[in-house]
Structure 1
Amino acid sequence: MIEFKEVEKRYPNGYEALRHINLTIDQGEFVAIIGLSGAGKSTLIRTINRMHDITRGTLTVDGTDVMSLHGKSLRKFRRKIGMIFQSFNLITRTTVIKNVLTAFVPDLPWWRATFGIFTKEEKMKALEALDQMGILDKAFVRADQLSGGQQQRVALARTLAQNPQVILADEPVASLDPVTAKQVMDDFQRINREMHITVLINIHHVELALQYATRVVGIRAGEIVYDGPADQVDQAVLDAIYQGKQEEPA
């Protein structure tokens, strides 16, 4: 379970990205976070794995105070949380399987990490993850030879290889065409349902959020203005979320 209690985030330049966030997310939920650019969507999900530190309040994951973690304990904690980015974050000049194998690097002795030495078991886990994403046949193809949708599936396979409890996705389909975007959202939905992995997606496409998520959190100016079932989002809710204009933090 992920729990925010009166969480706030203020950047050094004084910009308030999050204000009075109170939010509880149970294991196995599929939650879409929607709102204007600069509303605080990315900041919200990035506080969960400590990519951003909160300024005030309490943020716990499975009872662990995220802000209390440092060094080795923080790295171990992050192993439970996968992160998917809009830009895929792949090493494009190497093979697909080598990209997936990077999921194991944080746990390796320095000499294995330096020379890229992986066990048979690790290689099998990487191949299994690729098979789960339907791209096992691309294992030994260079990542830069894949389509955008295939590259995002590689990123998902890399995340699955680390056996996460939670997957955070920051605009994962923003750079994809509509057909491919729906295919990738199908993948997120399947992972959520079949593996009972919690999925939190920051997404601009409202129609995809409503189609795939079971719960929607709407953010405006750093505050939650809607939190409820996707099928109860109507025009009045959307007006509350999207009224006014927000500026991106500097």
Structure 2
Amino acid sequence: MIEFNNVEKVYPNGTEALKEINLHIDKGEFVAIIGLSGAGKSTFIRCINRMHDITGGKLHVDEINVGALKGKAIRKFRRKVGMIFQSFNLVNRTTVLKNVLVAFAPDNPFWRTLTGIYTKAQKRQALEALDQVGILDKAYMRVNQLSGGQQQRVALARTLAQEPDIILADEPIASLDPVTSKRVMKDFARINKELDITIVMNIHHVEVALEYADRIIGIRAGKVVYDGKASMVDEGVLKLIYEGDVEELNFAREENKDYVG
């Protein structure tokens, strides 16, 4: 489904964010990307849906050469690749339902988007997406009346309304408390299994990644240094990913202890 072939990403300032990335992600996998800050995790995620252009190699999604897409083709492609951010990207002063309906804006005539008019089918689909993440009862509340965890679930519902094949998540629980983080991660895991949606998640909380993901990709200084089952990750693998920085690894574990169990 997602194929990296010698992918490289060099930013204009000369920073080599990704180096010789070669890997394949199958449909229905739940993949967590872990590593130190600045290792290239976010760049990895954002190259998949063309938020960032690669500067070398080839990147294919469903046999589509992502780098060759232009204009409307990029927008059409992104309909099947949902994106979840740490910051939620919601309109706080409007309702939960209207935030989810934004998912349909690219498909609607401009005047419908401008006036906020959506079809009955689109409204039904948005409500079903809210039901899938357990917040249907919040549909007519304003977003700024919700907790952080509920807002992240609104963002997830908005993505589900697109009916994506892939969900990319860039640090989706970074700003959430431990209890809420578990609820959100359980939503991701359930959606992955029940809807067979591929999930690729950049995550800071190592133990959370090991608990919920099926596969771990460890990135260090722009290179993949581990790619395998979460169940196979041991102390040696973590030291390899975290450059042998035991102090950093211990700090991460201490920070993560309330997020698992």
TM-score where L is the length of structure 2: 0.93
Alignment of 1:133-152 (within 5 A): 133-152=133-152
2:153 alignment partner, SS class: helix
Q: Please say if 1:114 is aligned against 2:110.
A: no
Q: Give the distance between the partners of 1:146 and 1:119, measured in 2 at CA.
A: 26
The amino acid across from 1:215 in the alignment is: R
Offset of 1:201 from its aligned partner?
0.6
Q: How does 1:1-250 map to 2 (within 5 A)?
A: 1-243=1-243
Alignment deviations for residues 43-101 of structure 1 (CA, whole Å, 9 cap, x no partner) = 00100000000000000001010011011111000000000000111001100000000
Aligned partners of 1:68, 1:14: CA distance in 2, in Å?
A: 23
- Determine the C-alpha separation between the residues in 1 that align with 2:129 and 2:232: 35
Is the partner of 2:77 in helix, strand or coil? helix
The whole-number CA distance in structure 2 between the counterparts of 1:106 and 1:51 is: 17
Aligned residues between the structures: 245
User: RMSD value over aligned CA atoms?
Assistant: 0.8
Q: State the alpha-carbon separation in 2 of the partners of residues 139 and 45 from structure 1.
A: 30
Aligned with 1:8: secondary structure?
strand
- Aligned counterparts of 1:181 and 1:49: Cα–Cα separation in 2: 25
Q: What amino acid does structure 2 have at the position aligned with 1:20? A: E
Q: Tell me how far apart the structure 2 counterparts of residues 182 and 132 of structure 1 sit (CA, whole Å).
A: 16
Q: CA deviation at 1:244?
A: 6.5
The answer for the alignment partner of 1:248 in structure 2 is none
Distance 2:55 2:236 in 1: 32
Q: Secondary structure at the match of 1:44?
A: helix
* Alignment-mate amino acid for residue 96 of structure 1: V
Quote how far apart the aligned CAs of 1:23 are.
1.1
Residue 219 of structure 1: how far off its partner (Å): 0.1
CA shift at 1:143, angstroms?
A: 0.3
Per-residue CA distance 1:164-195 (angstroms, 9 max, x = gap): 00000000000000111011000000000000
User: Sequence identity, in percent?
Assistant: 71
2:68 and 2:51 map into 1 onto residues whose CA distance is: 14
Give me the TM-score of the superposition, normalised by structure 1: 0.97
State the alpha-carbon separation in 1 of the partners of residues 16 and 144 from structure 2: 38
- SS of the counterpart of 1:57? strand
- Structure 2 residue runs of 5 or longer lacking an equivalent are 246-261
Unpaired runs of at least 5, structure 1: 246-250
Counterpart Cα distance in 1 of 2:107 and 2:50: 19
Runs of 4+ in structure 1 deviating by more than 3 angstroms, as ranges, are none
Find the counterpart in structure 1 of residue 255 from structure 2: none
Q: Which has the higher contact order (CA 8 A, sep 6+)?
A: 1
Letter in 1 for 2:42: S
CA distance in 1, matches of 2:67, 2:107: 22
